[in-house]
Amino acid sequence: MAKNLLIVESPAKARTIKKYLGPDFEVKASVGHVMDLPQKRLGVDIEAGFQPEYQVIKGKEKVVRELKKAAAAAGRVYLAPDPDREGEAIAWHIAQQLGRPLKDYHRVLFHELTKDAITRAVAHPQRLDQQRYDSQQARRVLDRLVGYQISPLLWKKVRGGLSAGRVQSVALRLIVERERAIQAFVPREYWSLTAELEADAPPPFAARLVEFKDKKFEPDNQADTLAAQSAVTGQDFLVSEVKQRQVKRRTAPPFITSTLQQEAHRKLGFSPKRTMALAQGLYEGKETGEGAVGLITYMRTDSTRLAATAVEEVRGLIAERWGQDYLPARPYAYKARAQAQEAHEAIRPTSALRTPESLAAYLNKDELNLYRLIWNRFVACQMTPAVYDRTQADITAGPGLFRANGQVMVFPGFTAVYEEGRDNANGEGAGEGLLPPLAAGQRLKLLQLTPKQHFTQPPPRFTEASLIKELEEKGIGRPSTYAAILSTLQDREYITRLKRQLRPTEMGQVVNDLLVESFPAIMEVGFTAGLEQALDQVEEGRRDWRRLLAEFYGPFAQALKAAQSNMRQVKGQGLATEIACPACGRPMVIRLGKNGEFLACSGYPECRTTFDFSRDEKGQIVPAAPAPDPGVVCDQCGAPMAVKKGRYGPFLACTAYPQCKNIRPLSDNGEPAPKAAAEPLGEKCPQCGGDLVIKPTRAGGRFISCANYPKCRYSRGLPVGVACPQCGGEVVEKRSRRGKVFYGCDNFPKCDYASWHKPLPQACAQCGHAFLVEKRTKQGATVVCPSCGAKAGRQEE
């Protein structure tokens, strides 16, 4: 009898599922998408109703062949990619490649990878969901129309390698506008007057002047504050009223994708990308004492729904571990937002009985920390509220009314397990301490009166957590896309991270301004949120995806045509400033070079004055002090040399450039460093017959070059003494575009072997693998086998 075939996305997931399905099933992995739009062209036939031109992704031909072969020999075919829009698209594309009628496929949705969930899902398969697929397809085409038609415009107008995105660019706009709000912010001065008081019993406490002469006390200068201080000095401080009430603070709902990313960033310092990678691994399964088992439910969800069986299990755990006082009379159910997909669950442990402590031996540090966060939040979401006694005391002193607030926890409730993090320090209860017993008419002892100057603060810069919160609240993008959006903005160097704060770069602000000017609709937050709602309506069957695209593309095409001629030209011209060139008096412009932004004279090439700059807190340009004359002449043409800044730091360059291109390195103390002598290799150049030598690079690496350079430009990487494991060629040292060392095959592009770890010409004593690799960390260099993982030793730095 032919086996059944079940296809999932990842090999790790396949291993976990295979364990539970047994010998009647063959489980294969597609390793993500197998089809997509072409990379080097639009791939959308606009005239034919926005028909996408899908093709097998380069490098996935072997995977598709193996899936076809397995499907040809199989009985039933179960398609089990992830239970979301992206997963539905993968399932449809696999079905199209395998060639069976669509009605013959069984769609399986795994929300958790446990034995019961897997067997139940396989026993009750569904049909492929056309509406969900159409929604994903509409999103993919929308993003392609925007990205592939605006990005080339940026290449032409600004610089090559830039990109625009339907959601990415709106997220950038939020960051830029927040930065400009900070720069435009004018601090407002205000003052406070605080009394340090003592009652009959400890502790001493603080009270703040809130009313003076029957008016709200909000002084904006020192004189008014000192006048109030003088008026209450020497007066009796009497308690006029004490209000006490008991308040309850309820727990947060279980995690959804966005809140997990926010909390993991606040508490663990994880980027959204890191959080999702770790969560993916916990979902797909880890080897434990039970074997391979999925530890959390599906991590791409916007639903706070919880399965009744999971709630019942965790309630039993709460009663057993913390007692009945921590268990509410009825389970809590949480209301999801309007667009949430209620077929999904919240992110929770697949079993509350798998405590973090029980898994400590099976998970690495980051995996365990994230699992503990998810476990704690899930347990806490079914626990009773925390209870506080809150006290407010009003205290008179002559014409002044002071107020003190205190809060005491009566019952910890859910806080015994978990408290939600905050993006700033001004959270609930901030500044409230413990008050002594107080009663109306009680006289208090004044210890000190303290006037203090304050200034209002600008809005805070976004962190990754607060930006995700903002995107979600405004309905921009979907939780599953946030990690990719933030990664793209940083990869394109549109934003930088200073500690945890996100700041736009000069390039990011330039691109944002050009897009806002030329494509105001696409860059509008409300418009982008409306498109997300429209895509939801496609999934719900209430809107046709082609009509949605047509409604979008008409105005977009007009804006694109206008932008071709109207968008400001930055490339080759720069951004005008009000700074005069110190050499010729003409205006300086900001130019966007490959190593960053710099100021250059608009009179180029007649005037070649350039210098770096920074910006102050208000965003104003602050030209950098010119580099001192190093007093060095070019050893090739005799012209003076000047200090220049490159991608690897400062260096000396001949001022006769471009006629003379001589450069020299600088030492750590800023002095001209002697050129390292070329080391003879003992081989002849295959192009001109000259001697080959080993030369240093500006970044500190080495390479092989012809001694007759620049007449002969032959060069190649320096071999490390290891044969390529893929083709038998030489593995050589190389440098990435960002200057990072890696090791790759010298037969590139015919062979694409590459490794960040240095191969060593030493066979593994455990498995016989031909070479070991050197992995460098802060603790030192560890030598391991890339095949079996056996460690061959550690070399301390």
Residues catalogued as catalytic: 298
What is the C-alpha separation between 165 and 419, in angstroms, rounded? 36
Q: Is the Cα dihedral 707, 709, 715, 720 positive or negative?
A: positive
Query: DSSP secondary-structure letter at 24?
Result: G
- Asked if 227 and 400 touch (Cβ cutoff 8 Å), the reply is no
Closest listed residue to residue 255, CA positions, set 300, 285, 294:
300
Contacts of residue 298, Cβ cutoff 8 Å, sequence gap at least 6: 82, 83, 84, 110, 111, 112, 283, 344, 345, 347
Helix (H) or strand (E) holding 113, with range, is: none
Contacts of residue 554, Cβ cutoff 8 Å, sequence gap at least 6: none
- Asked if 395 and 238 touch (Cβ cutoff 8 Å), the reply is yes
What amino acid occupies position 369? N
DSSP string for 38-88:
-SSS--EEGGGTSEE--EEPTT-HHHHHHHHHHHHT-SSEEE---SSHHHH
What is the C-alpha separation between 726 and 596, in angstroms, rounded? 38
Q: Burial letters for 126-147: b for 16+ Cβ neighbours within 10 Å, e otherwise? A: eebbeebbbbbbbbbbbbbbbb
Beta bridge partners of 393: 242, 404
Q: Is the peptide bond before 626 cis (omega within 30 degrees of 0)?
A: no
What is the C-alpha separation between 199 and 525, in angstroms, rounded? 54
SS3 category, 151: helix
Q: Which residue has the tokens 């209620």?
A: 342
What pairing do the DSSP bridges indicate for beta strands 77-79 and 4-8?
A: parallel
Contacts of residue 275, Cβ cutoff 8 Å, sequence gap at least 6: 260, 261, 264, 265, 370, 483
User: How many other CB atoms sit within 10 Å of the CB of residue 262?
Assistant: 25
Q: Which residue has the tokens 């360059």?
A: 653
Count of helices and strands (H, E) across the chain: 17, 39
Please state the φ and ψ torsions of residue 573, each to the nearest 5 degrees: -120, -35
SS3 category, 474: helix
- Sheet with 663-665, strands from edge to edge, namely 641-646, 649-654, 663-665
Q: In the chain, what is the straight-line distance between the N-terminal and C-terminal CA atoms, in Å?
A: 60
DSSP string for 409-465:
EEE-GGGGT-----SSS--TTTT-BPPPP--TT-EEEEEEEEEEEEE--PPPPPBHH
What is the C-alpha separation between 591 and 599, in angstroms, rounded? 6
What is the C-alpha separation between 445 and 252, in angstroms, rounded? 42
3-state secondary structure 315-361: HHHHHHHCCHHHCCCCCCCCCCCCCCCCCCCCECECCCCCCHHHHCC
What is the C-alpha separation between 43 and 657, in angstroms, rounded? 44
- Asked if 750 and 744 touch (Cβ cutoff 8 Å), the reply is no
What is the C-alpha separation between 41 and 407, in angstroms, rounded? 63
